[in-house]
Amino acid sequence: MTTLKNQTNEKIIPSWLILFLAVACGVIAANLYYAQPLVGIISSSIGLSANSSGLIVTLTQMGYVAGLLFIVPMGDIVENRKLVVSSLLLTGVALAITAVSKQAVLFLMASFAIGIGSVAAQILVPFASYLASDSSRGRVVGNVMSGLLLGIMLSRPLSSLVAEFLGWHAVFALSAAAIIILAIVLSKVLPQRMPTADTRYAALLGSMWYLLRTTPILRRRAAYHAFVFASFSLFWTTVPLLLSGPVFHFSQIDIALFALVGVTGAIAAPVAGRLADRGWTKPATGIALGTVIISMLIPLMIRTGSITGIVILVVSAILLDAGVSANLVLGQRALFSLSPEIRSRLNGLFMAIFFFGGAIGSAIGGWAYATGGWSAVLWIGIAFPITAVLYFATEKE
């Protein structure tokens, strides 16, 4: 299968393939967050102590970062379809193991493997950029990333709802089946892409530090998004604690519905891609960073436990998700405008750096809420994007 070309010999990626890649990325990325709202019931089920329960999410994240640094760069030297399918098969097996695990060690090992295999989504994103023309790359990447972001945002409420009715084991069993089916379908519909670079794997990894040092746009875009993703993780780690507390008394299903409403912010991703295609990356970045600041500021200025307070939190969640979604697409669009031979490595570095920022946000969130309450969380959440804006102010045309 190949992409079509128009009369000007410009590549045209079929609309159905864009949609399918978006869905695939969402299904894959969701695996990173299914366990987050289920940490309590999983840890008690597998005999993990309360002090160690954080490892359930942390090891998945560590596996993902490892995959970003050691698997995703292989997209520059290994046939991409084979790399994607192999990663998904690993993920499917690991998910199946977690679904039947009754021991903590086996579950945690499988969680790490889930993180490694889930980087298949970050192989598919640059894959889509290769298939698109220069004039449509932002739109294509934005549409595919909107699917990935929807998967991340829907994963928490979906796992809560499935666990409520079928138990937590069913969450991982259903995902394992979905991933295996996805691997089979992708092996049939994805075109082959054999990179032209003739580089050994060791040299490939060694070149990543060089790319980080010599690619200013990578450092800048990764820093912007590390700060906003820290706020994103901070908010979504602590807002369930606020909603389930004595002020709002939300149930698990209520929290799931709240998270579902926030998903609407993902519509900003394709919009940002179109703005980038028109050459408006810099003003769009300023708007995205400002939106994240406003999302943290609104609930700090207007605080109430009434229906108004819930509405304010919903608006905050939508704005936060919109700002983060837009900034992510703008960053990837900028990186994918660089040499095709290094896109997988650039994407791996970009994702690893900002994902590390998100891990910091999650870690600080629990501590901030326990020691200073919701206000402390919001002030820290404001400080992150303000730092990004200060750095953004130094960007030259």
In order, the DSSP letters of 13-48 are --HHHHHHHHHHHHHHHGGGTTTGGGHHHHHHHHT-
- Asked, for residue 352, whether it belongs to a domain, the answer is yes
Q: Residue 173 — very low, low, confident or very high, per pLDDT cuts 50/70/90?
A: very high
Angle (CA) 172-116-59 rounded to 5° is 70
E strands, the chain, are 4-5, 11-12
Say if 305 falls within a structural domain.
Answer: yes
Q: Is residue 265 included in any domain, yes or no? A: yes
Tokens (6 digits) for 339 = 């040499």
Q: Which pLDDT score, from 0 to 100, does residue 270 have?
A: 83
Write out the two tokens for 268. 């900003």
Q: Which of 74-88, 245-259, 284-298 has the lowest mean pLDDT?
A: 245-259
Judged against a pLDDT cut of 50, whether residue 240 lies above it is answered with yes
pLDDT at 330 over 50: yes
Q: Residue 221: how many CA atoms within 13 Å on its side-chain side?
A: 27
Range with the largest mean pLDDT of 239-243, 331-335, 364-368 = 331-335
- Res 397: pLDDT: 61
**The pLDDT of residue 51:** 64
Q: 158-174 as b/e, with b when 16 or more CB fall inside 10 Å?
A: bbbbbbeeeebbebbbb
What percent of the chain stands above pLDDT 70?
Answer: 96
295 close to 323: Cβ distance less than 8 angstroms: yes
Mean pLDDT of all residues belonging to the chain: 87
* First-to-last C-alpha distance (Å) of the chain: 40
**4 assigned to some structural domain:** no
Q: Which residue has the tokens 């669009």?
A: 333
In a domain? residue 2: no
Identify the sign of the CA torsion 158, 31, 149, 58: positive
Residue 191 near residue 283 (C-beta atoms within 8 A)? no
CATH code, domain carrying 319: 1.20.1250.20
42 exposed, middle or buried (CB, 10 Å; 0-12, 13-18, 19+)?
buried
* 230's tokens: 């820290």
Domain of 116 in residue numbering reads as 13-392
DSSP state of 53: T
Q: How many CB atoms lie within 10 A of CB 389?
A: 17
Helices (H), 52-167: 55-70, 80-100, 104-117, 120-131, 137-166
Amino acid (1-letter code) at residue 157: P
Query: Does residue 37 contact residue 239 with C-beta atoms inside 8 Å?
Result: no
Is position 7 within any domain?
no
For residue 7, what pLDDT is reported?
A: 43
Contact 110, 201 (CB under 8 A): no
Tell me the C-alpha distance between 299 and 292, whole Å.
12
- Mean predicted confidence (pLDDT) in 289-308: 89
In this prediction, residues 289-309 reach a mean pLDDT of: 89
Q: Which residues contact 364 (CB under 8 A, 6 or more apart)?
A: 230, 234, 380
Q: Is the dihedral of CA 125, 128, 133, 135 positive or negative?
A: negative
8 A C-beta contact, residue 114 and residue 91: yes
The arithmetic mean of pLDDT across residues 101-118, rounded, is: 94
Amino acid at 118: S
Determine contact, residues 289/389, Cβ cutoff 8 Å: yes
**pLDDT tens, 34-82?**
987 787 788 889 988 766 766 787 788 889 989 988 998 898 889 999 9
| Lowest-confidence region among 176-185, 251-260, 373-382 | 251-260
Q: What is the rounded distance in angstroms from the CA atom of residue 204 to the CA atom of residue 197?
A: 10
Tokens representing 203 are: 């040299």
Q: Which residue has the higher pLDDT, 393 or 248?
A: 393
Average pLDDT over residues 255-277: 84
Domain assignment present for residue 232? The answer is yes
CB count in 10 Å sphere of residue 130:
20
Q: Which residue has the higher pLDDT, 328 or 13?
A: 328
pLDDT band at 236 (very low <50, low <70, confident <90, very high): confident
Measure the CA–CA gap between 77 and 215, rounded to whole angstroms.
20
Q: Confirm whether 169 is domain-assigned.
A: yes
Q: In the chain, what's the furthest Cα-to-Cα distance?
A: 64
Question: pLDDT confidence of 169, banded at 50, 70, 90?
Answer: very high
Helix, strand, or coil (residue 11):
strand
Residue 194: closest CA among 127, 145, 128: 127
Q: How many domains does the chain have?
A: 1
